[in-house]
């Protein structure tokens, strides 16, 4: 979503960081470009004005710390103001009320209310271990109530039985009563939408609010609608009174202006963001992490959390044991590719790595995209068990059969085998004797730079790190030079040069196997 803005701000701020001293004219010229970039990203004009005024005030009168160049100080000020614009600290859904806690979902038709209702219910059930009841109050849209019932079946969440002919206010009252009788912790009310804001809609919302007394009123807004979403939020807040926002379609190619403006205009926190169609693709909104991504500083914390959620600890342990022996067959390669797909693919991972956001375009140009992973998995799936365990068996006739089965050709199979050979060689080096193996040295080098101990040659046990420690880890990474835009022309400190992480092997990507599934101590999937 923020790619265009990221590119523009990155080039503007990189132009500043290279200079030894900055004049007021330099800062003004840079802020003019920042202002233009934000307006092009569809950020509200008054928000842009106040943002640039605050940055100018701090940048021109800033005491430049001796250890920091003036350009880097401006980057820090822009970063801090972006966090402030997005809301400072992240705010989650407040459940601190007597059960059942009523959460009311409001918004326009087509913004994704019903799907988001199911996503929130699924998240609270699986992550927070809460008993949730969903109720559809949408009596106008055909099959709206049936849609929520089907989503309830799909996610294993209770839904209120449908009674034809009931009004939305009656359904709301019945839902709260059913939740009390059924011992539910939370009841989520999915209200009706309209194609535009109108008086009957607002009157209906007010009546439902009066009848159900919701603790949270969440406005679901489509982040692709730009400035219109900001006006929508203002209207709903004035008439119904919202407590927070949920932005959907944050994985789209919109310019991100709605996300940057809404918090500043309404004063209401963005609590959750939808990042895909699947039920699990809902994330908490963390202003600092979003600001880090926009400025190309990466998002180590989210990456570690994503790894913890998606990586099977038992498979990871088995992989680590294989790596220690230097073994790596095509089954292992397939597991690695699947893990990367689960974590958002190559683009998603690169976007969260400090200083690596610019690599995405280069990799796409070299043909290293997620479609390539799909082709490689198809090739491996077309092999027999024996061939996957022992790739040396693959002679011409077998390759011909595999190519026919996977819809590829011999050249694709040869590329895959070459990639596997390079990765297998790397595994042998990593698991080799002498000084505890390369992997231990690499991990120790990174951990040393970040002031960490324990784990595999210094890698911390990620299962015991709480979110506050993860935030501290991110700050340590930034202090060690891992989190500044343009700070990593030669790769991460402690991991050798060459412009890449170990196991990501530059443009050829020979070592995807050195990736996250090998990290020790990740918590088991729930």
Taking only the tens place, the pLDDT of each residue in 405-419 is: 999 998 999 989 988
Task: Output the pLDDT for position 350.
Answer: 65
196 or 520: which carries more pLDDT confidence? 196
Q: How far is CA 12 from CA 8, 27, 81, 107, 387, in A?
A: 6, 11, 16, 37, 52
Q: Binning pLDDT at 50, 70 and 90, where does residue 450 land?
A: very low
Give mean pLDDT, residues 361-383: 77
Residues 6+ apart with CB under 8 A from 395: none
Q: DSSP 3-state assignment of 217?
A: strand
Q: Binning pLDDT at 50, 70 and 90, where does residue 313 land?
A: low
- Say if residue 368's pLDDT is above 60: yes
Among 236, 291, 315, residue whose Cα is nearest residue 268:
236
Give mean pLDDT, residues 472-499: 44
In the DSSP assignment, the letter for residue 20 is: S
- Say if residue 69's pLDDT is above 80: no
Taking only the tens place, the pLDDT of each residue in 420-430 is: 888 888 777 76
79 or 170: which carries more pLDDT confidence? 170
Taking only the tens place, the pLDDT of each residue in 81-109 is: 888 888 877 888 999 999 899 999 998 88
Q: Which two tokens stand for residue 111?
A: 């913004």
Task: Answer yes or no: are the C-beta atoms of 349 and 439 closer than 8 Å.
Answer: no
Mean pLDDT of the chain: 76
In the DSSP assignment, the letter for residue 312 is: -
Give mean pLDDT, residues 391-402: 90
Give mean pLDDT, residues 131-141: 93
- Rounded CA separation 251/254 (Å): 8
Task: Output the pLDDT for position 347.
Answer: 63
Task: Answer yes or no: are the C-beta atoms of 375 and 402 closer than 8 Å.
Answer: no
Q: Which two tokens stand for residue 474?
A: 């991110």
- 122-160 CB burial, b ≥16 within 10 A, e <16: bbbbeeeebbbbbbbbbbeeeebbebbbebbeebebbbb
DSSP lists the bridge partners of residue 106 as: 219
Put simply, whether the predicted model's pTM sits higher than 0.85 gets the answer no
> Largest alpha-carbon pair distance within the chain?
76
Task: Output the pLDDT for position 470.
Answer: 57
């Amino acid at each position: 979503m923020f790619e265009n803005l990221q590119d523009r701000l990155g080039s503007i701020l990189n132009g500043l960081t290279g200079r030894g001293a900055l004049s007021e004219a330099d800062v003004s010229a840079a802020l003019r470009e920042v202002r233009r970039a934000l307006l092009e990203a569809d950020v509200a004009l008054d928000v842009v004005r106040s943002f640039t005024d605050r940055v100018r005030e701090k940048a021109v009168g800033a005491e430049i710390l001796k250890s920091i160049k003036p350009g880097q100080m401006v980057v820090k000020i822009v970063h801090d103001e972006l966090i402030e614009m997005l809301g400072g600290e992240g705010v989650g859904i407040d459940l601190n009320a007597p059960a059942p806690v009523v959460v009311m979902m409001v918004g326009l038709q087509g913004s994704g209310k019903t799907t988001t209702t199911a996503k929130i219910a699924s998240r609270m059930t699986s992550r927070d271990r809460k008993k949730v009841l969903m109720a559809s109050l949408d009596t106008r849209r055909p099959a709206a109530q049936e849609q929520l019932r089907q989503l309830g079946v799909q996610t294993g969440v209770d839904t209120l039985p449908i009674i034809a002919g009931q009004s939305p206010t009656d359904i709301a009252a019945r839902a709260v009563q059913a939740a009390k009788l059924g011992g539910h912790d939370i009841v989520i009310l999915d209200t009706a939408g309209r194609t535009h804001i109108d008086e009957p809609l607002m009157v209906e919302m007010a009546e439902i609010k009066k009848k159900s007394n919701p603790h949270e009123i969440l406005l679901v807004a489509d982040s692709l609608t730009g400035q219109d979403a900001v006006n929508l939020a203002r209207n709903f807040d004035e008439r119904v009174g919202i407590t927070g926002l949920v932005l959907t379609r944050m994985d789209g190619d919109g310019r991100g202006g709605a996300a940057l403006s809404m918090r500043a205009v309404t004063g209401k926190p963005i609590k959750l963001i939808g990042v895909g169609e699947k039920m699990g693709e809902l994330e908490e909104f963390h202003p600092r992490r979003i600001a880090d991504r926009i400025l190309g500083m990466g998002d180590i914390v989210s990456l570690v959390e994503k790894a913890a959620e998606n990586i099977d600890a038992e498979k990871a342990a088995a992989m680590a044991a294989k790596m220690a022996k230097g073994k790596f067959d095509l089954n292992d390669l397939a597991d690695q590719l699947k893990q990367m797909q689960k974590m958002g693919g190559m683009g998603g991972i690169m976007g969260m790595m400090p200083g690596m956001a610019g690599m995405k375009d280069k990799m796409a140009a070299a043909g290293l995209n997620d479609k390539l992973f799909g082709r490689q998995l198809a090739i491996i799936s077309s092999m027999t068990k024996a061939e996957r365990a022992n790739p040396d068996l693959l002679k011409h006739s077998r390759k011909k059969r595999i190519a026919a089965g996977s819809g590829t050709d011999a050249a694709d199979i040869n590329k895959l085998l070459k990639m596997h050979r390079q990765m297998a060689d790397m595994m042998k080096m990593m698991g080799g004797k002498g000084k505890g193996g390369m992997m231990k040295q690499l991990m120790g080098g990174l951990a040393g730079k970040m002031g960490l101990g324990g784990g595999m040659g210094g890698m911390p046990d990620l299962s015991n790190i709480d979110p506050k420690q993860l935030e501290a880890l991110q700050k340590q990474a930034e202090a060690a030079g891992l989190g500044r835009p343009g700070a990593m022309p030669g790769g991460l400190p402690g991991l050798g040069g060459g412009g890449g992480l170990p196991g990501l092997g530059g443009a050829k990507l020979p070592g995807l196997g050195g990736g996250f599934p090998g990290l020790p101590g990740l918590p088991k999937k729930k």
